[in-house]
């Protein structure tokens, strides 16, 4: 069975194929023409056809059937999935989690200490979390366990220097689930619009498609390290309003995905000014807040509180600005994507609206409780003087350093590549270089029925086993081409594979 799409025809994975043929099609209620059309419209390139093909190569190699392939391993540089790419979990987190799953271990503390290196603070933390959640097998409050929300509030206060209220914090099954909740609340009609950065992480456009609402794109400024151009945002907003779109919110991803761009306080203030003047909810996706390689991370919450405090014109302009800021255990040095944990803090929302949000999250019962516990450990890791601190620090710093080294190696390699230009790595887990392809390559892509960036990425996968994502999956300015790669894969050998491929590609199509 073949799957056809912008990358041409690909064989479907065998598990899908089996389902297609397991019973007669005629008896089914659902077919591709009568399901929710908005699901069909949604696009999510990060796990799209290139990713499917790379999994097929991986399976082929695992079965020992890869003799004909020009590579001996598949590198998944398409997705920010750190532990799939050999990032080791932080020991403290997993030791605590092991006790949460099996509290009986607390009856054997000496064995855990002497044979497995558990420290006393691991037992203390597990007891504290178990006291809060009772059992990780039990539902928690819909909004998340109260003690964990208190820990999150303490963390935000330490980070920003302003208090946070645990009642305004919602734990979630990763940031994705938080975005989904917020969008469900905001998107009231098909004319509701949300300002989304381009390029963007496709969660936003895909969720807006699913909810049959409008994405109002604003372009990031590549030449100045993918900064946010508030005038451009305002223009996009006005244009959308003229078309009858009711723009209700603005999304900012900081540090950016796929761009890695990090906002300075002035940039944050500019967006908050716009939100205040145009009555927009501000959604600050801050899942990469610890993946910062240049300068420091500045939170939207702190930016808003600073503006409210200074209130230069004494007109209360920022008083009712609605801000939802999101964080996750999936990224940073934690990288626990599979445990699905995150939180969002809601500031300035009408209590009647928050009551509806509470009802919405209650319909899903609660976020995964182990994921909630990981959130607690992320925001409250071992502190200096704690028995687990030295190892925690060593592991954390080691992961950070590794990411920074690989980001730099990749950036240096891109600098040397003909027709490639890349902004320096500032943050997140990605580089998003521009590629300028020769006319012959563009012609060849057209013949193959693919966009030029998809064609390039597919050729890279077929020749090297490296899976990256074409820029078109994130949105890019008309007439430009990009690709996104993570810098999570261990070692730097694979970087050499890219440079060699690129040289060959450019020579072939020159």
Ligand X SMILES: Cc1ncc(COP(=O)(O)O)c(C=O)c1O
- Smallest distance, ligand X to C-beta of residue 125, A: 22
Contact 298, 263 (CB under 8 A): yes
- Where in 315-344 is the site for ligand X (CB under 6 A)? 328, 330, 337, 342
Which x/- pattern over 205-244 shows residues binding ligand X (rule: CB under 6 A)?
A: ----------------------------------------
Q: Which is nearer to ligand X, 80 or 473 (CB)?
A: 80
Q: How many CB atoms lie under 10 A from the CB of residue 18?
A: 11
As given in the structure block, the two tokens for residue 249 are 């919110």
Cα distance between residue 359 and residue 474, in whole Å: 32
Measured in degrees and rounded to the nearest 5, phi and psi for residue 339 equal -85, -10
The H or E element containing residue 18 is helix 14-22
CB of 345 to ligand X, least distance (A): 15
User: CA triplet 286, 288, 291: central angle to 5 degrees?
Assistant: 145
Considering only residues 246-275, where is the footprint of ligand X by CB under 6 A?
253, 257
Q: Which stretch binds ligand X (CB under 6 A): 30-38, 48-56, 171-179, 446-454?
A: 171-179
Is the Cβ of residue 327 or residue 450 nearer to ligand X in the bound state?
327
Residues 183, 284, 287, 410: which binds ligand X (CB under 6 A)? 287
By CB under 6 A, name the one of 121, 222, 285, 376 that touches ligand X: 285
* Region from 87-95, 110-118, 172-180, 359-367 binding ligand X, contact rule CB under 6 A: 172-180
Rounded CA-CA distance 111/106 in Å is: 10
> Given the complex with ligand X, which of 195 and 287 has the nearer CB atom?
287
Query: Contacting ligand X (CB under 6 A), which of 105, 203, 324, 437?
Result: 203
**Closer CB to ligand X, 227 or 330, in the complex:** 330
Interface map 344-383 toward ligand X (x if CB under 6 A): ----------------------------------------
Question: Which stretch in 2-10, 70-78, 168-176, 274-282 sits in contact with ligand X by CB under 6 A?
Answer: 168-176
Q: How far is the CB of 415 from ligand X (least distance, A)?
A: 25
Does 80 sit near ligand X (CB under 6 A)?
Answer: yes
Residues touching ligand X: how many (CB under 6 A)? 14
DSSP of 22-66: HS-GGG-S--TTTS-HHHHH---GGGSHHHHHHHHHHHHHHTT--
Which span sits near ligand X by CB under 6 A: 103-111, 173-181, 364-372, 392-400? Answer: 173-181
197 binds ligand X (CB under 6 A): no
Give the distance, in angstroms, between the CA of residue 433 and the centroid of all CA atoms in the same chain.
18
Complex with ligand X: residue 44 or 162, whichever CB lies closer:
44
State the nearest-atom distance from the C-beta of 59 to ligand X, in Å.
Answer: 24
In a 3-state reduction of DSSP, which class is residue 178?
helix
DSSP string of 455-468? HHHHHHHHHH-EE-
3 state SS of 146: helix
Whether residue 78 contacts residue 54, with contact meaning beta carbons closer than 8 Å, is answered with yes
Asked if residue 174 binds ligand X (CB under 6 A), the reply is: yes
Q: Which of residues 394-453 bind ligand X (CB under 6 A)?
A: none
Interaction of residue 155 with ligand X, rule CB under 6 A:
no
- Bridge-partner residues for 219, per DSSP? 198
* Residue 108 CB, nearest approach to ligand X (Å): 34
Cβ count within 10 A of residue 320:
12
* Structure tokens given for 490: 């261990």
CB of 430 to ligand X, least distance (A): 8
Instruction: Tell me the window of 118-126, 169-177, 219-227, 379-387 that interacts with ligand X (CB under 6 A).
Output: 169-177
Alpha-carbon distances, residue 505 vs 28, 113, 260 (angstroms): 46, 55, 26
Q: Which is nearer to ligand X, 290 or 308 (CB)?
A: 290
Residue 184 CA from chain centroid, whole number: 19
Burial of 479 per CB tally in 10 Å (0-12, 13-18, 19+): exposed
Contacts within 8 Å (CB) and 24+ apart, 31-38: 36/210, 38/209, 38/210, 38/211, 38/212
Q: Which residues bind ligand X (CB under 6 A)?
A: 80, 174-176, 201, 203, 253, 257, 285, 287, 328, 330, 337, 342
């Amino acid at each position: 069975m073949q799957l056809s799409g912008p990358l041409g025809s690909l064989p479907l994975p065998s598990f899908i194929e089996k389902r297609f043929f397991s019973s007669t099609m005629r008896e089914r209620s659902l077919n591709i023409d009568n399901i929710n059309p908005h699901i069909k419209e949604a696009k999510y390139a990060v796990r799209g056809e290139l990713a499917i093909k790379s999994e097929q190569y991986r399976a082929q190699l695992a079965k020992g059937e890869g003799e004909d392939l020009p590579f001996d391993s598949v590198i998944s540089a398409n997705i920010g999935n750190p532990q799939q790419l050999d990032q080791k979990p932080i020991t403290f987190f997993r030791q605590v989690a092991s006790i949460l799953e099996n509290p009986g271990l607390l009856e054997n503390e000496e064995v855990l200490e002497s044979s497995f290196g558990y420290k006393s603070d691991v037992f203390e933390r597990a007891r504290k979390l178990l006291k809060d959640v009772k059992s990780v097998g039990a539902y928690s409050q819909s909004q998340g366990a109260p003690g964990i929300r208190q820990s999150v509030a303490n963390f935000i206060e330490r980070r920003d220097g302003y208090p946070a209220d645990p009642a305004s914090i919602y734990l979630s099954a990763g940031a994705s689930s938080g975005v989904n909740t917020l969008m469900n609340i905001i998107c009231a009609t098909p004319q509701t619009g949300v300002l989304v950065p381009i390029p963007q992480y496709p969660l936003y456009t895909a969720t807006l498609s699913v909810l049959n609402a409008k994405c109002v794109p604003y372009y990031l400024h590549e030449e100045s390290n993918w900064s946010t151009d508030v005038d451009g945002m305002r223009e996009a907003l006005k244009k959308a309003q003229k078309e009858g779109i009711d723009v209700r919110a603005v999304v900012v991803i900081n540090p950016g995905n796929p761009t890695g761009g990090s906002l300075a306080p002035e940039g944050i203030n500019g967006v908050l000014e716009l939100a205040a003047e145009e009555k927009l909810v501000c959604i600050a996706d801050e899942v990469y807040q610890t993946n910062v390689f240049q300068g420091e991370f500045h939170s939207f919450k702190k930016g808003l509180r600073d503006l409210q405090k200074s209130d230069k014109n004494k007109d209360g302009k920022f008083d009712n600005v609605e801000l939802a800021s999101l964080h996750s255990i999936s990224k940073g040095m934690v990288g626990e994507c599979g445990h699905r944990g995150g939180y969002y803090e809601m500031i300035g929302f009408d209590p009647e609206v928050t009551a509806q949000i509470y009802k919405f999250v209650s319909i899903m019962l609660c976020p995964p409780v182990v994921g909630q516990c990981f959130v607690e450990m992320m925001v409250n890791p071992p502190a200096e003087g704690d028995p687990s601190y030295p190892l925690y620090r060593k592991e954390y710093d080691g992961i950070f350093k590794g990411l920074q080294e690989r980001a730099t190696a990749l950036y240096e390699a891109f600098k040397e590549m003909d027709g490639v230009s890349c902004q320096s790595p500032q943050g997140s887990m990605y580089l998003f270089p521009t590629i300028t392809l020769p006319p012959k390559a563009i012609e060849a892509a057209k013949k193959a029925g693919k966009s030029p960036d998809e064609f390039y990425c597919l050729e890279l996968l077929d020749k090297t086993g490296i899976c990256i994502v074409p820029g078109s999956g994130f949105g890019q300015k008309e007439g430009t081409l990009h690709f996104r790669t993570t810098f999570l894969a261990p070692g730097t050998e694979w970087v050499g594979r890219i440079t060699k491929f690129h040289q060959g590609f450019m020579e072939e199509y020159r």
